[in-house]
Structure 1
């Protein structure tokens, strides 16, 4: 079997997505997600100008060799653009291989380690009472785990608290600027989880995302303040580049820690995993370079009792979610899967076999990863330039978003 053609499809059915579609001389096709939110066209150029020409004529079954060729052969390794581009190709090749074998991808990886996968979804409010009700609504819908965010008194709406403030699809001109105050945040967040436990009791799993905005000492303080409320995890406490900072956090709190959604390779997480400074690794297929490296990372994490928790926001297409689900069903150290329901138009463009029911996910049993793309329908949703927000402190200093 040989690769005969490769398409890079850019569409915006509610969000911008970059999809790689690989064609073979035996009629099998596979697709992969190569979306890098806010920098989509950079990945498109990397694919079309540098990787696609090399793919034509290659054997699609030699996935490992192809991955190594694109990673080691570039000399300039790593980085979000490079790894998203490689991920699109790698995921599409695994899709083809599983289709050729006539089995779902998780079977090709080694089979299922569980019947279904626990997921968590998001709930938020501009004030505590609104956030508590939002979380309660998600529990009523069947979710067993919810990430809770709330607005901070004295600040405008920020990420995760008011959908209108961070509606990325609507921000097509310049990035939206948010305002941040860590002292106000640290004083307020424990009050949210006190209210949630009072309302919902102890059986609901609660999560929270600090979005990389704290110093290690601030994160340690927050983790300790949240200990009475037994969070499932505290996510992305400090800037992800600062792996050593987690040593200080770990010394001062037993609140479980999760990180990794912006990591691109195992080198971004090696120290955190080896020293057991985190409890959950949140790397995802499209940002980690595809199925091939993420499977390795999951195996590496299992040695150190670190569990998986793939990033699963709406800015990654259903193709990425499906790949994450197949890996999650296989991984013996699976922890939880992030899940934010897609817009109807997104699901129409990317029909798939995966299911979501009663707070659990399953990738389905269709050959491959189970998601396809309707190219004709995708063409009706042209690319729309958009930006993620940026963040400033109250004095105007640019801060982590």
Structure 2
């Protein structure tokens, strides 16, 4: 069973998605997610111009060999564009293998390790009152773990804080603005560090000690500032503090780890096991945050998580709406099979996206399940996808109050 053709689909039902579709000589179709927020067309070109010509005629069953061929066979390795493209090929081949076997992909990975994967939702608000409303809305939807983000006095707009919700309204936040250039937001670390501990004190007082709470610092702190935040949040028993400092400098986490017991989640922008080597071997983190879409696919992320398991580190796969339903399904199949699963991020896609991508995964009582359909369990409606053409969109740029460009 060989690869007969490979097509790259681009659609934008509310946001941009890149999908690779591989068809075999036996007519079996597999889908892979190659979406890279704000740089989608770079991956499109990488796939169309460089990988698709290499795929036609290859044996579709040989997933491991194909992964190594695309990774080791190129002089230029790693990076988000390369790894997202390889991930799409990998997912599509796992999808095909599952369909040929008549089994969901998680069964091919060893079967279930749990009945469902605990998911966390995103609650935010410009004020405490608005934040509390968002938390209640998420609890009503069935979430049993919630990320807390809030406005900061003195700052106009902060990434991760959507528009304030009315009671009963669903959270539907799209940070990628459909503009010719990125929107610029402001930032002041001192204001933030002074404000956030009081937010968690108020949330704990309102919702009790039992609700798992998470927080994302979006790489904006120095190691000392990250350690200060971690220590100040210790009384509120966070499930994790995410991306507290830029992760490229793996050694910086030694400083943070030495000064706080707050669990740390790192890796949303990392895409290779090499990016994690120090973080894992020195046990500087508690959760791996990469996505299956940006981390080289199911094959690569399974190996990364097996490596992490040796050191007691668990998964916390990146899963917002800039991962397509195909990528989300791939993450769920892996999450169900992993022994060292921790939690999975879940932002439900909008109605238009779920009409383009028909999914088989479910969310019940706070748990996500990949479903029992053969393969990944996601199909795409070509005709409907074509009615949503690509539109340039960018995540915001961050500046200090004096105008200096700052880290995410």
Rounded Cα–Cα distance in structure 1 between residues aligned with 2:58 and 2:121: 40
Rounded Cα–Cα distance in structure 2 between residues aligned with 1:139 and 1:356: 13
* Residue 330 of structure 2 corresponds to residue 341 of structure 1: no
Equivalent position of 2:109 in the other structure: 109
TM-score normalised according to structure 1 size = 0.98
Aligned pairs for 1:188-337 (under 5 A) are 188-337=195-344
Q: In the TM superposition, what whole-angstrom CA distance separates every residue of 1:31-69 from its partner, at most 9, and x where no partner exists?
A: 000000000000011111110001000001011111111
Q: Retained in 2: the 8 A contact 1:136–1:200?
A: no
Rounded Cα–Cα distance in structure 2 between residues aligned with 1:166 and 1:361: 20
Q: In the TM superposition, what whole-angstrom CA distance separates every residue of 1:150-171 from its partner, at most 9, and x where no partner exists?
A: 0010011111123499844543
Rounded Cα–Cα distance in structure 2 between residues aligned with 1:94 and 1:103: 11
Q: Retained in 1: the 8 A contact 2:160–2:175?
A: no
Equivalent position of 1:387 in the other structure: 394
**Residue 134 (structure 1) shift:** 1.5
Rounded Cα–Cα distance in structure 2 between residues aligned with 1:352 and 1:150: 31
Of the three residues 350, 361, 366, the one matched with 1:359 is 366
Q: In the TM superposition, what whole-angstrom CA distance separates every residue of 1:344-397 from its partner, at most 9, and x where no partner exists?
A: 010111101100112110000100011111111100110001111110111111
Equivalent position of 2:50 in the other structure: 50
**Residue 129 (structure 1) shift:** 2.3
Q: Which runs of 4+ in 1 moved over 6 A?
A: none
Equivalent position of 1:10 in the other structure: 10
Q: Retained in 1: the 8 A contact 2:177–2:396?
A: no
Q: In the TM superposition, what whole-angstrom CA distance separates every residue of 1:89-130 from its partner, at most 9, and x where no partner exists?
A: 110001001111110000001111011110000000101222
**Residue 243 (structure 1) shift:** 0.8
Rounded Cα–Cα distance in structure 2 between residues aligned with 1:115 and 1:170: 37
Q: Retained in 1: the 8 A contact 2:176–2:396?
A: no
Equivalent position of 2:168 in the other structure: none
**Residue 175 (structure 1) shift:** 0.3
Classify the secondary structure of the residue corresponding to 2:197.
helix
Q: Retained in 2: the 8 A contact 1:175–1:389?
A: yes
Q: Retained in 2: the 8 A contact 1:166–1:176?
A: no
Rounded Cα–Cα distance in structure 2 between residues aligned with 1:166 and 1:240: 25
Equivalent position of 1:66 in the other structure: 66
Q: Retained in 2: the 8 A contact 1:232–1:256?
A: yes
**Residue 2 (structure 1) shift:** 0.9
**Residue 29 (structure 1) shift:** 0.6
Q: Retained in 2: the 8 A contact 1:14–1:169?
A: no
Classify the secondary structure of the residue corresponding to 2:124.
strand
**Residue 141 (structure 1) shift:** 2.5
Deviates more, 1:126-135 or 1:82-91: 126-135
Rounded Cα–Cα distance in structure 2 between residues aligned with 1:4 and 1:301: 37
Q: CA RMSD in A?
A: 1.2
Gaps of 5+ in 2: 165-171
Classify the secondary structure of the residue corresponding to 2:380.
coil
